[in-house]
Structure 1
Amino acid sequence: MDQTPAPIFRKQQRPPPSSAIPSSSPAFGTPAHPLRPFNVDAPKAAILPIILPPATLRPLAFRTFTKKHSLTLTSSALQELASFIGRHCGSGWREEGLAERVLEEVARSWKNRNGGVMVDGTSKELQDILKTLEGNMSGGKITGPNRGLPRGDSMLTEPGDADVTNTRLGIRPAGPPREDSNTSFGMSGLGVHEAAEDEEAANDPRAWLKVIDAHEQPRLIYNVSKKHFERETAKPSLLPPASHKATLFRNRYHVIHQRLLRNEAFQTSSVSTSRKRTFQRSLSSQQQSLKITPIANLLGRHGSNHMLLGQLTVLPTGDIAISDLTGTIALDLKQAVAIPEDSAWFCPGMLVLIDGVYEEEDESSGKGLGGTSGVGGTLGGRFQGFFLGQPPCEKRKATLGISGLDGGQDQTIGGGFGWIDFLGVGSERAVGTKMRRLEQRLLREPHPPSTDESPAPSPSRNRVIILGELNLDQPRALQALRKILSVYAAEPEDSTPLTFVLAGNFTQHAVMARGGSGGSIEYKEYFDALASTLSEFPTLLQASTFVFVPGDNDGWVSAFTAGASVPLPRKRVPDMFTSRVRRAFAAANAEANHPPGVVPGSAVWTSNPSRLSLFGPNHELVLFRDDISARLRRTSIHLKRKAAERDTEDTENTTSEKQNSQEEHETQHPDAMDLDAGAAPSPPAPLPNTTTTTTPHDVHAARKLVKSILDQGYLSPFRQAVRPVHWDYAPALHLYPLPTAMALVDTTAPAFCVTYEGCHVMNPGSVLVPGRRGVGRWVEYEIGQQGRLRECTL
């Protein structure tokens, strides 16, 4: 029964509290149409609760959650929603559309919290959403300051709601209040507006450029039961509990394990009769796919062949072992061969795939484990490894579920993590299409074809200039920086590069830890000299973003480590040392008369590593400064090499085997590794009765380094004793999904530009080229394409 008074009575003035219940006596002025006693002094419309069966609500919930938001309701969640709607919406849940509004808000709030595809009634997220929603309901409608639907939604638009702040339930927006329906996908952090006039106003592509500090990046943990990434809500700490160290390893293992299960080589197909193997081994005809065996399942299976996925570790006895979530077992790698041969590094701390045979403790040959069997989950016996390989990488398009050309609008059916906002700039499926339209308008405007008479087209603005290690305590380094900046200052004004990336170490030695040699005062003087050099190029300071990435020798952390390996991620250079540089940018922008829609130039001091995002999820550039190549060489495991020096009668067979292996590898990975045009010439075809031409050492070292890092999907695949990592900030080191590009500044590796599985990796090395006096080097990267190495003479 509807208890709402007739509209005619809503306009009458309420009686004073002393006469809340009107009398029937004329002396008290009883109105001609007396108010109902239960609604006289009610501040809001009363709702009569009802018992709403879940089966009755199921069609409406299916239309809202499944058809509109691609979510799946469990029976417990449907029961919770039916109980909530029956209690707060009453008998008008269907006729007045109250239930539809509640279901719409719950679905959007669930996506905002990255709850996953399955909406579970027992989850804490759903309980929090309903609890918050309960406090903002009046008369069966969502009202109050926390209403989450946009003002433009016809279901909730009422007079007088223009000043209501639209905040997602339980989550405070990162920026100004938004009015679109996609705030749950991180669009508020990017500042994306739906209105066309707002898009036209931002004519500068740098308005869509964002530098993401590692300490501000969303911390996502993979949930195995939901097969989805969840946002970690606990506050991170530099001194976390010891259990967080296990969480770090567990998350790395789960991410790579689910990535492997999505690989074709690990999927069972009932259609295909044969499947090519990633690892070259003889298998029975009944086995159609690769399978991973947990280490604990090896017990009692002596002499059987298995493939393991785990982390390489070092036992207290000094033996190499492999560990997964179920246990640890010692390895015998005397006969192990890397697949493909000499294509990647294998170090303790890496997650690897190993194929071999399990030998029980009684039958194992070689040294025994002594008293370590059974201690800490260590199995007795040994695992005789024959083939060792990196877990195959996954392309960015496959991770995000994109099947269209160049990230088009087509999506794979139910594939990928396209709804996950990995960087806080919006998910691929929420803002990807719109960002591509913006990019096409701002950066991809077609140039008229040049003829012999017409002048050459001006350089493109969509460029990122990456400078390697810049030692400010070397006078020639500042001279090289001045020469490089003069090259771009001479270009037309509308062709100024978007970003300049300058990487540390900004001093050759840890000045902060050298005691009486100047310390912090000397360190600040170096940045003052940098500010003087930058001030000579005001046009670049007015139109570009300068990003500074610190190294291990930079403050403050170097004052305690004296230049040794510092924990990752490490914070930016303190503001007290960079005040003069920021003042130079402020002075340059004060002199410029920027038109509306143009973003002034700026200096951004960020962490190591950090991310540079352009047009939301369309372009992601990882900035990382580390001498990882030297660390890989120091800690790598030496494996048996295939017999390269054979007798002359076996040379022809060896050549044919390598050709077949290369053809098979190219078939499985058609664009596995590409070099830029100027990196190295392609090797000539082998002649009869001769060995194949070897790849140049620098090219091979670059490919080996890139494959090791990207296959691991992690920027620090080492033991904690070799390269410490802050456990709570470890999600910022993951390379999943693969970025579109990566600037790896490594002075111990050769300079290169390499593309692997769609990710373009660049290493400019040091600004001053070692061994070549008076030569400066840097990388010029055109966004969405490839980078090229450039040099200049001082």
Structure 2
Amino acid sequence: MEDPVSTPRLPPPAFKPSTKPSSKEQLLSSSPGFGTPAYPIASRAPVLRQPFAAPPNTTTNNVSTVLPILLPPQTLRPVAFRTLTKKYNLTLTSSGLGLLSTFVGKFCGSGWREEGLAERVLDEIAKTWKRNGGGLIIEDGSDKKLSSLLKTLEPCMSGGRLDIGKLSRSNSSVGTPNLSRTGSLSRPDVNRDDSQTSLGFSGLNVEDNSLDQEDETHLDVRSFLKVVTAFDQPKLSYSTSKKTLEHISGTASLLPPIHHKISMFKNRYHLVHQRLMRNESFQTPSFSTATRPPSLMHSGSSVTSMQQSYKITPISNLLGRSGSSHLLLGMLVYSAASDLALADLSGSVVLDLAIARPVPDEGAWFCPGMIVLVEGTYEEDGSHASNLGSVAGVGGQIKGSFLAETVAGPPAERRSLTIGSSDSDNLHTSVGAGFGWIDFLGVGSEKGIGQQMRRIQRRVYGRPSTQDISNPTDDEPESHPPRTKIAILGECTLDSPRTLEAIRAILSSYNSSSTEIDDLPLSIVLIGNFVSAASMAGSTKGGGSMEYKEHFDALASVLSEFPFLLSNTTFVFVPGDNDPWASSFSAGGACALPQQAVPEVFTSRIRRAVATANAEAGGKKDKNAPAGEAIWATNPARLSLFGPLEEIVLFRDDITSRFRRHAVSFVKPDGMDDEEVPNAPGEADDTMNDLEETRMDREGESESESVHAATSHMPTTSSTSTTKHSMQAARKLIKTILDQSHLAPFAHSVRPIFWDHAGSLSLYPLPTALVLADSEMPGFAITYEGCHVMNPGRVVDELGMSRVSGRGTGVGRWIEYDVKTHKGEAREVRF
């Protein structure tokens, strides 16, 4: 036991210290008010120091040495369960517990329990595990994820604790996504320990001071805009054991093994199936008084529909249950005998659509290759009863047929439910077991950086305009609103002189009315086909490589007339089926998706025009504003704004005509004339499937209208009104695609897909906006399940000559999308 500091019995020093007080020392007062003695208390450190002691080591840190111990896994189990399972909702396996006990015993030593070192280390391990997309189960499987994670954390351990500073400086341990092109957010501050609000990305918090208060009004929103091509998206696969999405290891190939094709369809089926299982209509209630099986048809009683629950039956379980009603989930396919069949992971069965009705009527297309819900009765063929085991089994086609009564698509799921978050102005909370920790685009996950990005988004956009108008203040300087517009031009056939005139008129409308950068659009998207016929396919109309390059050279001449626009806007080019190199082999037919970007050999003149405009405006631009650029994207491509908050999908395809050619025909019921057209889905008196109505009844009338109904946004600036027939066709197209959550829900022979890159065609979770550039459909802008779908149509109005008086005049049309209000508006200009 040490002696008290004030004891007078101290050993005499080897050398008598000087009795002269130093100028730096001050004698303490003996005043009773301070309660101090008259003489200062002698320090013990200089007295105990030996005269010939070695100087202290200044090269090592003053950190206590940790002696490793052998920590049994069962001893660490209570602490691991309290930290990993209760706090972070993670499941720990025996192999994972063994590795963690070895790691804690080696680097925390005997103080793992008394000093709380183990709990702190496990807390950081859980955050890093979730940030890297490890899943809900902590285990050390064949991929050795946990072992590699612990190896990266070993250099960051110091004195039984995890050094956050070392962790932030290690690029391998902190997988920080590049959220902006300028790199302002590529290295966020990681010294903030806020485990309650950031469950996973403890080292990836973008602080409030990351944006300078003085530069907020001059910050260009384009700094947070990123183009994600189809070949750069992370490859994800749904794990049925872990109930989550996992990253696929390995390099993707254009010529993969055949089993990758099977995995492509299995992954798509699993995503739809788990989406239905999380739907309230497929969850069995605790108390049910329903006396009849649930039906997909329209139900007039909300009480009855609330008591119903749907149960999906595997196709292989139909054997021996002839005459019973079932609800099946499977993909529409053609059997070997060219009969329409339904297939799932257990088998297939032939469909009989003699009395089947689509739900809703005339509200969606049903084509081979789509995953649908079919309700009906199984009728077994008794002729094969003797050899049932040899002919029909799991994975094969069972005998008999399924008499379908109703056919419906799987209900779409809103983006907020998929990622498990609900955002508001001042709150960001979790609302369910979603995929918030999954990084779908490689820009960060919703729960990892969503809250920080949402804070930055509010600061960039500023206060709502209603508050500024109601409470004006003279002290605050007037600032321009941020850039929120994206101009979308469709079917830009550059081999037509009228198309070049229309593009010149559209760019001139922005360039003439914009005196400052804040008035310019964020981006201008030009979508192909860039030629009216397949190029380099042997036809004289499409032309060869020289003719194709001349078309882009002509576009470069038009763009060079607007240097101010080129140096302050992001131009995005999305190809079509007639563009190289895919058109060289498809000859105008359906090429394989995703499609590569237009090769650089044809776009050198446009790149040179953008570089020249940036060089001329070098000294005149704001230092915070990024330079103008031209990005040649794939088809499809995605625009990411503020990380995972905003996702805009760009897709070019004449998908409406393909649906019409391959859709399954249903027999109309008696009493309905051929000229009678049912109401479009989303109208006030439309026919809905019972799944959507059940959700609307549970959520309430006021909320259901804004959440589950298809809300249309009719353009008001267009000179022509959209007919009811075209709006019905647009709603039918949107409901079909978003319910399937896939951009190409067709058979592989109709629309081929690169197997290893099929994930880029998935619409799960639903994006905030979807651009379906269909040249055969008129322009529209409709919101369905929170996803705003737009079609810009053709940039040149072919009938402009007949509607506008005067010779040589035309109308150029495009869609202007506002990223702040999530609304698209049709615009037009005469030239």
Superposed pair shares fold, TM > 0.5: yes
* Structure 2: distance between partners of 1:84 and 1:64: 16
Q: Is there any run of 5+ residues in structure 2 with no aligned partner, and where?
A: 1-51, 55-62, 472-478, 678-683, 698-703, 802-809
Residue of structure 2 in register with 1:345 after alignment:
365
Selected match of 2:75 from 45, 51, 56: 56
Relative to structure 1, the CA distance from residue 563 to residue 496 in structure 2 (aligned partners, 3 Å threshold; closer, same or farther) is same
Residue of structure 2 in register with 1:619 after alignment:
646
How do 1:25-44 residues align onto structure 2 when only pairs under 5 Å count? none
User: TM-score with structure 1 length normalisation?
Assistant: 0.81
Relative to structure 1, the CA distance from residue 277 to residue 538 in structure 2 (aligned partners, 3 Å threshold; closer, same or farther) is farther
More displaced, 510-519 or 624-633?
A: 510-519
How do 1:181-260 residues align onto structure 2 when only pairs under 5 Å count? 193-194=206-207, 196-198=209-211, 200=213, 203-260=219-276
Residue of structure 1 in register with 2:521 after alignment:
497
Relative to structure 1, the CA distance from residue 632 to residue 661 in structure 2 (aligned partners, 3 Å threshold; closer, same or farther) is closer
Selected match of 1:180 from 156, 178, 190: 190
Relative to structure 1, the CA distance from residue 424 to residue 64 in structure 2 (aligned partners, 3 Å threshold; closer, same or farther) is same
* Structure 2: distance between partners of 1:182 and 1:623: 37
Q: Deviations over 1:707-741 (max 9, x none)?
A: 00000001110111110101101111110111111
Relative to structure 1, the CA distance from residue 330 to residue 206 in structure 2 (aligned partners, 3 Å threshold; closer, same or farther) is same
How do 1:73-152 residues align onto structure 2 when only pairs under 5 Å count? 73-87=92-106, 89-94=108-113, 99-100=118-119, 102-122=121-141, 124-129=143-148, 132-133=151-152, 136=155, 150-151=164-165
Relative to structure 1, the CA distance from residue 75 to residue 199 in structure 2 (aligned partners, 3 Å threshold; closer, same or farther) is farther
More displaced, 214-223 or 486-495?
A: 486-495
More displaced, 746-755 or 90-99?
A: 90-99
Relative to structure 1, the CA distance from residue 663 to residue 78 in structure 2 (aligned partners, 3 Å threshold; closer, same or farther) is closer
Contact 2:717 2:827 in 1 (8 A): no
Q: In the TM superposition, what is the alpha-carbon distance from 1:449 to its structure 2 partner?
A: 3.8
* Structure 2: distance between partners of 1:705 and 1:82: 55
Contact 1:186 1:425 in 2 (8 A): no
Q: Which amino acid aligns with 2:313?
A: T
Q: Which amino acid aligns with 1:107?
A: A
Q: In the TM superposition, what is the alpha-carbon distance from 1:507 to its structure 2 partner?
A: 0.5
Q: In the TM superposition, what is the alpha-carbon distance from 1:401 to its structure 2 partner?
A: 1.7
Q: Which amino acid aligns with 1:479?
A: E
Selected match of 2:317 from 278, 285, 297: 297
Contact 2:345 2:395 in 1 (8 A): no
Q: Which amino acid aligns with 1:338?
A: P
Relative to structure 1, the CA distance from residue 701 to residue 679 in structure 2 (aligned partners, 3 Å threshold; closer, same or farther) is farther
Matched, 1:728 2:756: yes
How do 1:664-683 residues align onto structure 2 when only pairs under 5 Å count? 667=696, 670=705, 671-678=708-715
Q: Which amino acid aligns with 2:714?
A: A
Residue of structure 1 in register with 2:806 after alignment:
none
Q: Which amino acid aligns with 1:672?
A: A
Residue of structure 1 in register with 2:631 after alignment:
604
Q: In the TM superposition, what is the alpha-carbon distance from 1:420 to its structure 2 partner?
A: 1.6
SS at match of 1:477: helix
Residue of structure 1 in register with 2:785 after alignment:
757
Contact 1:509 1:563 in 2 (8 A): yes
Selected match of 1:767 from 795, 810, 817: 795
Residue of structure 2 in register with 1:580 after alignment:
605
Q: In the TM superposition, what is the alpha-carbon distance from 1:565 to its structure 2 partner?
A: 1.0
* Structure 2: distance between partners of 1:429 and 1:391: 27
Matched, 1:701 2:729: yes
How do 1:358-373 residues align onto structure 2 when only pairs under 5 Å count? 358-362=378-382
SS at match of 2:122: helix
Residue of structure 1 in register with 2:48 after alignment:
none
Residue of structure 2 in register with 1:558 after alignment:
583
* Structure 2: distance between partners of 1:90 and 1:709: 57
Matched, 1:288 2:308: yes
Q: Deviations over 1:168-226 (max 9, x none)?
A: 349697686655379999999x9984361445557111111111111001111111111
Relative to structure 1, the CA distance from residue 468 to residue 173 in structure 2 (aligned partners, 3 Å threshold; closer, same or farther) is closer
How do 1:318-467 residues align onto structure 2 when only pairs under 5 Å count? 318-362=338-382, 377-405=396-424, 408-412=427-431, 414-447=432-465, 448-449=468-469, 461-467=483-489
Residue of structure 2 in register with 1:39 after alignment:
none
Relative to structure 1, the CA distance from residue 263 to residue 178 in structure 2 (aligned partners, 3 Å threshold; closer, same or farther) is same
Contact 1:356 1:386 in 2 (8 A): yes
Residue of structure 2 in register with 1:776 after alignment:
812
Q: Deviations over 1:727-760 (max 9, x none)?
A: 1011111101111111110012222111111111
Q: In the TM superposition, what is the alpha-carbon distance from 1:617 to its structure 2 partner?
A: 1.6
Q: In the TM superposition, what is the alpha-carbon distance from 1:552 to its structure 2 partner?
A: 0.8
Residue of structure 2 in register with 1:473 after alignment:
495
Selected match of 1:317 from 316, 327, 337: 337
Q: Deviations over 1:682-705 (max 9, x none)?
A: xxxxxxxxxxxx982101100000
Contact 2:99 2:147 in 1 (8 A): no
How do 1:15-26 residues align onto structure 2 when only pairs under 5 Å count? none
Residue of structure 2 in register with 1:589 after alignment:
614
* Structure 2: distance between partners of 1:433 and 1:285: 37
SS at match of 2:253: coil
Contact 1:298 1:358 in 2 (8 A): yes
SS at match of 2:567: helix
* Structure 2: distance between partners of 1:608 and 1:635: 22
* Structure 1: distance between partners of 2:306 and 2:433: 29
* Structure 1: distance between partners of 2:615 and 2:421: 44
Residue of structure 2 in register with 1:642 after alignment:
669
Selected match of 2:505 from 479, 483, 488: 483
Q: Deviations over 1:534-569 (max 9, x none)?
A: 111122112211111011111112112212111111
* Structure 1: distance between partners of 2:204 and 2:549: 35
More displaced, 559-568 or 247-256?
A: 559-568
Q: Deviations over 1:31-74 (max 9, x none)?
A: x999xxxxxxxxx9987553323343234324542455443334
Contact 1:129 1:169 in 2 (8 A): no
Q: Deviations over 1:265-293 (max 9, x none)?
A: 11112257569965348999998301100
* Structure 1: distance between partners of 2:551 and 2:797: 21
Selected match of 2:766 from 734, 738, 763: 738
Q: In the TM superposition, what is the alpha-carbon distance from 1:706 to its structure 2 partner?
A: 0.3
SS at match of 1:543: coil
User: What is the aligned length?
Assistant: 708
Relative to structure 1, the CA distance from residue 489 to residue 113 in structure 2 (aligned partners, 3 Å threshold; closer, same or farther) is same
Matched, 1:790 2:827: yes
* Structure 2: distance between partners of 1:282 and 1:787: 35
Contact 1:182 1:430 in 2 (8 A): no
Q: In the TM superposition, what is the alpha-carbon distance from 1:487 to its structure 2 partner?
A: 1.2
* Structure 1: distance between partners of 2:570 and 2:797: 25
Contact 2:638 2:649 in 1 (8 A): yes
Contact 1:265 1:278 in 2 (8 A): no
* Structure 1: distance between partners of 2:616 and 2:284: 66
SS at match of 1:434: helix
Q: In the TM superposition, what is the alpha-carbon distance from 1:96 to its structure 2 partner?
A: 6.3
Relative to structure 1, the CA distance from residue 353 to residue 281 in structure 2 (aligned partners, 3 Å threshold; closer, same or farther) is farther
* Structure 1: distance between partners of 2:455 and 2:154: 40
* Structure 2: distance between partners of 1:186 and 1:482: 50
Q: Is there any run of 5+ residues in structure 1 with no aligned partner, and where?
A: 1-31, 35-43, 158-163, 452-456, 652-657, 682-693
* Structure 1: distance between partners of 2:313 and 2:651: 35
User: TM-score with structure 2 length normalisation?
Assistant: 0.77
Q: In the TM superposition, what is the alpha-carbon distance from 1:85 to its structure 2 partner?
A: 2.5
More displaced, 757-766 or 487-496?
A: 487-496
More displaced, 581-590 or 290-299?
A: 581-590
Matched, 1:266 2:282: yes
Among all aligned residue pairs of Structure 1 and Structure 2, give the percentage whose two residues are the same amino acid: 48
* Structure 2: distance between partners of 1:679 and 1:574: 38
Q: Which amino acid aligns with 2:459?
A: R
Q: In the TM superposition, what is the alpha-carbon distance from 1:676 to its structure 2 partner?
A: 1.4
